[in-house]
Amino acid sequence: MVPSETSAGRRRFLKLLAASPLLAYPGLSPRWMEAIGRAQEDAVISSVREALDVFDFETVARKNLLPEHWAYLATGVDDDSTIRANREGFTRYQLRMRPLADFSKLDMSIQLFGTKWNTPIVLCPVASLKGFHTEGEKGVARAAKAKGVLQALSTMTSTPVEEVNKERGEPVWYQLYARDQWSETLKMVKRVEAAGCPALLWTVDLLGGSNRETFRRAQPREGVRAPLCKNCHEGLKKPMYAGLAEQAGGEGGGTTVFTWDDIKRLKDTTQMKLLVKGIQTREDAELAIAHGVDGIVVSNHGGRAGASGRATIESLPEIATGVGRRIPIILDSGIRRGTDIFKALALGATAVGIGRAYVFGLAAFGQEGVEAVLDILRRELQMVMRQTGATSVAKITRASLVDRFDAIPSPASSHSSGNR
């Protein structure tokens, strides 16, 4: 075994040791506790080649980031229970394995608004990516280009959309936070449209505000940033707000009330495809279609918006039924595994979005880390498609899943209208 493999193996062992139930044993000596603490530190991978899953990058990201920046990335709302629900929701659905399928030709591609993508993975909009790595949005754009995946840019980007598009080699999708003054919103929309962006994601799940306790607890007690953090934030101006009037409120908008009438109002002002991001119920999915949207994103902002306590994967079936495959559905919040992607597709999603997962890779190793995260998720999805006999994304159906809360379905009853 070469030295690097020996080192990686040792870290794996120490990582398992650090997670051992022995940690809960009251008679464990202080010396053992110190050793396990060192084991947790030693378990951090030192290169992308050592990573076995997405969670390996999370550990490095937490080590690399300033505490305040980590808290922003990690926070949910209230007690963070909706973040936990997003992950736990995937365990509700079990896979029905179907061996002996001919998977020699496996098609993982999808079509969105006439464009073909290599995988059903979308890089979700995440604010201020330069706060996680100096390569920021440009590094993510290069990774998206290398892997042939769709990228969406946040209104709160630390890099102008024009520069990101140039780095990506083609226009990205753009995520919109509406401004208090509609005229200011339209200025931003027209700028994005002029940059060539083909689709606009209006995020609506933060219009009511959000209570991010984990992030707030990480703030300096007297409201004064440490010099390093202050210097960092001085360089994180919001370039998409250049030339716009200031407004109260932060991420998500200000104090103006928006309603479904504003969906049509926005759609009438642009030729870009309009998707509404933050849909969590069948009723709102049907309203979205009635108001002419081109697609929806099933999302609770990664557990950062309302404290619903409900996983998006559990919201998806009712939404897919309401949509009835009339428009694309993208699901985000909590995706960490290829099996998560498969389950979302089986329940009716057209594609899935990842946010924290690729930011872990960015914070850990820059562009290389983002590419590695995409490779791991693609490899995991490919494996589960082979195991279930689904040789293309179109063949991933509800028949491949069992809902633990329901009786075991028969193959004939496993297909419902609205789900693939």
Which residues are CB-neighbours of 106 under 8 A, at least 6 positions away? 382, 385, 386, 391, 392
Number of H helices, E strands in the chain: 16, 12
Query: Are the CB atoms for 137 and 130 separated by under 8 Å?
Result: yes
What does 94-120 look like in DSSP terms, one character per residue?
A: EE----S---SS-B--EEETTEEESSS
* Active site members: 301
Give the angle subtended at the CA of 54 by the CAs of 124 and 15, to the nearest 5°.
150
Per the CB < 8 A criterion, the answer to whether 313 and 218 are in contact is: no
CA atoms within 13 A on the CB side of 127: 20
Q: Tokens standing for 55? A: 């969670």
φ, ψ for residue 115, nearest 5 deg: -105, 135
Instruction: Report how far apart, in Å, the C-alpha atoms of 106 and of each of 228, 341, 394, 395, 396 are.
Output: 48, 16, 11, 11, 12
Centre a 10 Å sphere on the Cβ of residue 299 and count the other Cβ atoms it contains. 27
Strand partners, 94: 402
Q: What six digits make up the tokens of 320? A: 């897919």
In sequence order, what are the residues at sequence separation of 6 or more whose Cβ sits closer than 8 angstroms to the Cβ of residue 348? Answer: 316, 317, 319, 320, 321, 323, 325, 329, 398, 418, 419, 420
d(CA 123, CA 354): 5
* Strand-pair category, 150-153 with 121-123: parallel
C-beta separation of 371 from 118 below 8 A: no
> At 148, is the secondary structure helix, strand, or coil?
coil
CA-CA-CA-CA torsion sign (38, 44, 49, 52): positive
